[in-house]
Amino acid sequence: MSTSTSTPSRQWDAAQGVWVGSRALADEADEIPDPLYIFGYGSLMFRPQESFAACERVDGVVEGWRRVWAQRSCDHRGEPHMPGLVVTVLSDAELEAMDLRQATDPPSLVHGVAYHIPDEQVAHVLDELDFREKGGYTRAVVEVLPTHSNGSTSTGNNGGSIKALLYTANAENPNFHHPTTLEEAAHIVAWSRGPSGENKEYLFEVDAYLRRVGAECEETFLLTRRVKEVLEKGLDRRGSLDARHQQILVGTAKGEGEGKGEPARGSRAVWQQLRLLAWGSNQHGQLGKRQVHGAVQTQEDGEWPCPSPTSVELDVAGTVSFQGGSLATALVDHHLTIRQLAAGGGHSAIVTDEDRLYLWGWNEKGQVGGGKHTILDGTRRVHVFPRRVAMVALGHAHTLVLEKDTGKVYGIGANAAEEATGSSSCSSTCRAIGGVPVTLSGAFGGGKEQLRFSWCAAGVRHSAGVTQDGRLVTWGSNKYGEGLPVSVRSWAPGDGGRVVKVCCGWQHTVVLDDRGRVWTMGANKYGQLGWGWKEEMRREDEVAGLPRQVQWPSAVEEGGEGRWVEDVACGWSHVLAKTRDGQVWGWGRNTFGQLAQESRNTAIAAAAAGNLFPRRLLPLPGCLPHGARVREIACGTESSALVGDDGSVWACGWNEHGNLGVGDKKDRGVWTRVLGFPTREEEGAARMLVACGGAHVLAVMERVGLQTEEK
């Protein structure tokens, strides 16, 4: 009663445990039932994705298939270094070939739920599911027999049965693993967790559904009972795992050649304890763990402010390669390179050189991933984003992820102004696993378009990106002109320049082009646009609402290195820029001293202090107070930071939560050195990365040695 599609060939991304391209195996020639029903036999039974919310739901059974716990999960209920175990369905023919049933046995049955997908949602739903099932799955078409009718259920298209599409992971996919013992399966499920939550919760929900509909599934019921026993007895997570389930990315469990008289070689996934320096607010665990050594809990708001840099640890995964030597030696010599460090309103992130993104901290809107309450709990736990990542941008309560290779940007978190996804597809919040691709309503011809990006930025309620052909696009709030007009699809300088970077403040946007020029748009109450006046520009001519070039003081040579900007950063209402000659410039709000000026500006004092135009923030071009040159610039909400080429960090501005790292919570109107950093980097040493968030700061060396524990 079933027909299966042919299995297209696809390369496997062993490091992530998914198909290359992060899509389920599918082919344009695949049969798509019309009307389309999707049959779910796992999490779709109890936690359907948002696009299924209004779909007709039919409980049913598929004959000739069986549910088995035989699929590693590296992207939902586990991680690449510690995969979980979830269900797949196998046909009776496959089960017989694996000696899991006899040909004379009665046909197998799989109970589940069929969802009727409206025609206008078919393409969107298939795109979502192809990404969701990237961890080894392919499509198949089956006949579903409804088990009951609620008065609104369709009678199907074939004598009462419903032709439906399901996703199956057969024995040929690289993640297939059917544990030989109940003990092995139970310990995997008991202790694994991933971006979608704990593996045991998945098992318990599947079990509950099957019991509710009166289905028989002995494997599920036995596994549930044994997992509960394991949890009650508190059996050790590590010692109980079967060696075959320690995820080996390349080679065999011992490494190629090991045990054969040959030099061992291969790669292994390992736990790594990454040590960061963090300071400021830790109300949401954004510093890396709930309690930090030396911190004092306040009585007012339950925060754990930390006014000085404090060492915290995070558990991350890495791949250790060894060639012609022991794995133990390779572990000692292993280093992890941090590509990017990021901080948002109350959440934090790192991107490693293995294209892995780790998120932790405030998750009320789903900006970290998973459920609302899956936050750090003192175990150094972080959420692993299930995509290969080029960069990440953290806004106040949303997250943008630029996917490597594809150039797509995915959004999660707050979406009330469509700041996460560019559309209302996720209502006011987006908690979709892997995020939702940013799609912008086309200004020409209608419809929606997925763009390819080279950069992205997230503000409070708006976002922006740079396309691969060097153009600016924006989405989210545009109340103050911080976004492009609806009639303008994208923007680039009219003289052929290309946009290379964009930053988002609270209500303004800052753009850098490949000719070292800075352009701005949006709110201008504090002169943060750098145009020489405070009023928002509301002209009615052809350039109304478009970015306008920042006006430099006349004393700065036109076209010289002192006006060629290499990097920009912005806070809520102020901007920093670093020019080729090493000088740091700033403009905009200075209420808390964030522009390193002792005289705090009111609306009137702002003009007198010259903050409406770019102003030099260092006495000598590029030189910090102790003589080192500036390497990096960064902005918090109302604070600023500079990183020297000697590894020193300097800060000024708002310090209510100790976020300047200077040992107290007093604001600073001059550059003040952050405590606890080295005085001079060694020749060739890795650079210091610093990220400033809402009221917290993170710092780490770009290339770090790790305390590594083999898994």
Could you give the C-alpha distances from 225 to 67, 132, 245, 583, in angstroms and in order? 17, 28, 21, 66
Query: H-helix or E-strand containing 218?
Result: helix 218-233
pLDDT band at residue 535 under the 50/70/90 scheme = low
pLDDT score, position 82: 76
Q: Which residue has the tokens 């300088």?
A: 493
b vs e for 463-474, b when ≥16 Cβ sit within 10 Å of the residue's Cβ? bbbbbeebbbbb
- Cα gap 164→40, rounded to integer Å: 10
> In this predicted model, what pLDDT tens digit does every residue of 432-443 receive, in sequence order?
767 788 988 654
Tell me the pLDDT band of 634, cut-offs 50, 70 and 90: very high
Q: Which letter does DSSP use for residue 253 in this model?
A: T
Q: Which of 79, 94, 133, 482 is catalytic?
A: 133
Average pLDDT over every residue of 382-401: 88
Contact 13, 34 (CB under 8 A): no
636 forms beta bridges with none
Give yes or no for residue 311 having a pLDDT over 80.
Answer: yes
Does 269 score more than 70 pLDDT?
no
Distance CA 541, CA 264 (A): 70
Percent of the chain with pLDDT over 90: 48
What φ, ψ does residue 233 adopt, rounded to 5°?
-85, -10
Most confident of 32-41, 151-160, 193-202: 32-41
Mean pLDDT of the chain: 80
Residue with tokens 């040959």: 262
Q: What percent of the chain has pLDDT over 70?
A: 74
Taking CA 573 as the corner, what is the angle to CA 544 and CA 438, rounded to the nearest 5 degrees?
Answer: 65
pLDDT of residue 109: 95
| 410-414, 469-473, 601-605, 623-627, range with greatest mean pLDDT | 469-473
Q: Which sign, positive or negative, has the C-alpha torsion 279, 283, 284, 290? A: positive
For the stretch 577-611, pLDDT in tens is 999 988 999 999 999 999 998 654 444 444 444 47
Q: How far is residue 549's CA from residue 662's CA, in Å, rounded to a whole number?
A: 35
Q: Decide: 131 and 45 in contact? Cβ < 8 Å.
A: no
Orientation angle between helical segments 218-233 and 199-212, nearest 10 degrees: 140
Cα dihedral 671, 393, 268, 375, rounded to 10, equals: 90
Report CA-CA distances (Å) from 553 to 356, 550, 707, 711: 43, 10, 51, 58
Would you give the DSSP letter of residue 121? Answer: G
The pair of structure tokens assigned to 451 is 């763009």
Q: Which residue has the higher pLDDT, 82 or 497?
A: 497
CA distance 356 to 316: 9
The residues that bridge with 69 in the sheet, in sequence order, are 87
- Residue for token digits 């930071």? 641
| pLDDT at position 249 over 80 | no
Instruction: Assess contact for 17 and 247: CB atoms under 8 A.
Output: yes
- With contact defined as beta carbons under 8 Å apart, do 537 and 531 qualify? yes
Q: Which helix (H) or strand (E) holds 123?
A: helix 122-132
Q: Is 570 helix (H, G, I), strand (E, B) or coil?
A: strand
**Amino acid code (one letter) for 4:** S
- What is the DSSP code string of 571-587? -SSEEEEEETTS-EEEE
Partners of 703 in the β-ladder: 337
Nearest C-alpha neighbor of 111 from the set 41, 36, 208, 206 = 41
- Cα of first residue to Cα of last residue in the chain, in angstroms, is 43
Which one, of 409, 442, 411, lies nearest residue 426 by Cα?
Answer: 411
H-helix or E-strand spanning residue 329: helix 327-333
Residues 6+ apart with CB under 8 A from 636: 343, 571, 653, 654, 659, 692, 693, 694, 695, 697
d(CA 114, CA 453): 36
Q: Is residue 29 scored above 80 in pLDDT?
A: no
At residue 475, the 3 state secondary structure works out as strand
Integer Cα distance of 426 and 602 in angstroms: 40
Where are the chain's structural domains? 2-233, 565-683
CA 398 to chain centre: 10
pLDDT of residue 623: 86
Per-residue confidence at 654, pLDDT binned at 50, 70, 90? very high
Task: Return the structure tokens found at 671.
Answer: 């550059």
Mean pLDDT of 654-682: 86
Residue with more model confidence, 701 or 295: 701
From 322, 252, 247, select the one nearest 80 (Cα to Cα): 247
CB 452, CB 444: distance < 8 Å: no
pLDDT tens-digit readout, 357-383: 888 888 888 898 755 444 333 334 566
Which residue, among 432, 535, 517, 448, has the nearest Cα to 489 in the 3D structure?
A: 448
- At 317 the three-state DSSP class reads strand
133 is catalytic: yes
Contact 618, 630 (CB under 8 A): yes
How far apart, in whole angstroms, are the C-alpha atoms of residue 224 and residue 110?
18
Q: Give dist(CA 64, CA 111) in Å, integer.
A: 11
Query: What is the C-alpha to C-alpha distance for residues 344 and 354, in angstroms, rounded to an integer?
Result: 22
Query: What is the structure's pLDDT at 441?
Result: 63
The answer, yes or no, to whether residue 51 has pLDDT greater than 70, is yes
pLDDT at 603: 42
- Residue whose tokens read 């830790």: 282
Q: What is the per-residue pLDDT for 265? A: 54
- CATH of region 2-233: 3.10.490.10
Contact criterion met (CB below 8 Å) for 313 and 670: no
